[in-house]
Structure 1
Amino acid sequence: MVSTAEDAVKDIPDGSRIAVGGFGVVGVPEVLIDAVRDQGAKDLEVISNNAGVDGRGLGKLLETRQISRIIASYVGENKEFARQYLSGELEVELTPQGTMAEKLRAAGAGIPAFYTITGSGTQVADGGIPWKYDSDGNIVKSSPKKDTRALSTFGEEKEYVLEESLPTDYAFVRAAKGDRAGNLVFNASARNFNPPAAMSANTTIAEVEELVEVGEIDPDDVHVPGIYVARVLQLTPEQVADKPIEKMTVRED
């Protein structure tokens, strides 16, 4: 247990690799992100499905220029993310969503690499995806060619791509419920990338909306066991209630 978000992140150094749970604005560890912004660690490499939206989630760390590299699946909903990428201020390694989730999970399972058919026959395997531009829009760094191998599954031979796992220094996750031993439960779609992110790190920090005592969570309900979690932060009611809606659609009566 840690008593404050500041205590939870105070030892994170410059240059850390951090996996961050969430999808859009759902299941995002906003309080821990705010704490890192205030703590000031910079030159961070972040692994997350996206970078939130402008002014929310990882968008806050982009605004303060604390992120130098992102491994992500999606750029679209964050204008500052796209601007920094296209202007050469930020290196972005675009990765298919399922592959990224498995790369994080594999790290937690001690698997250094695995083969997947995702991306076979595309630039994901062949290389050439722009990772970094210069200020004039020229590509200065691209994804490398990956190892491939023909493998037979169900009697049919196909080409598979070798993907390396993604071990991280720290992970930030947000859970609906957690106990003092670090066992976590996520609510509905807020589960998203949180479990694989939690598995990937040397030090996983969880912010929890409801803190219970050890034994109060049925073992069958645990989504992430406490063995993966190093620090647990209980949120205040005000922090729990701060849940934005990314896009609101209304219907005329």
Structure 2
Amino acid sequence: MDRQQISRLAHAHHPIAAPLADESVARLLERATAGREDGRALDLGCGEGAWLVRALAARPRWHAVGVDLDARALTRARETATALGVERRIGLHHLDAREFTAKEPFDLVLCVGSTHAFGGLLPTLAAARELLAPGGRLLVGEAFWQREPSRAALDGLGSTPDEFGDLATTTGLVLADGWTPVSGHVSTERDWDDYEFAWTGSLAEWALDHPDHPDAAAAREAADRHRTEWLHGYRGTLGFVTYLLRRD
């Protein structure tokens, strides 16, 4: 079972692919689109388009573009957009986010939980800068260390101690790069637990419901492994911050 398929199944009941509750997503989107009745939003690594379709449903005069490498996730995004009646205001591109170019800049750029596509936070900020209109806003989500990671945490994440900094260090990088946080959200332990239980539970339940599927055993093994890595590894160690940023 490939990684994209695992992710699609795991996010069946938590389409926001990050440890954020629906209320926090709504608040961040409201703040990100505030002051503009009409505008253009771009999500780099949009997956199933959960951020964009919610933004469009709340803002009837906004338009959006989503970019992702997972064709099936984009199909789901189209289906969701159609169900919500916003399909005419969204364009979806099966493309590496690093290769996306636009003739016109965007009023809002999003990259929440997908900074790995650009090689980290700073390259993501650089890419967003080229796509953002003057006075526009960037919504970016990134991991950080809540405490010094143990060997179990690093092994579970396949990470290294220097891959992330703490919250102060991460925020300092953003500021030094010429961005100002105007709002944000630090995911709580409840956010994380809800997300991880949804991720592992959705994947395991799919395996239970499809015992004869060729990928059932692989799905169950992936769910069990992820649960162990979380509970016995990085729980309470890996944090997640979503910044709403503007350029100086």
- TM over 0.5, shorter chain: no
Higher strand share: 1
TM-score (normalised: structure 1): 0.40
Larger-gyration structure (1/2): 1
Higher helix share: 2
Between 1 and 2, higher relative CO (CA 8 Å, sep ≥ 6) is seen in: 2
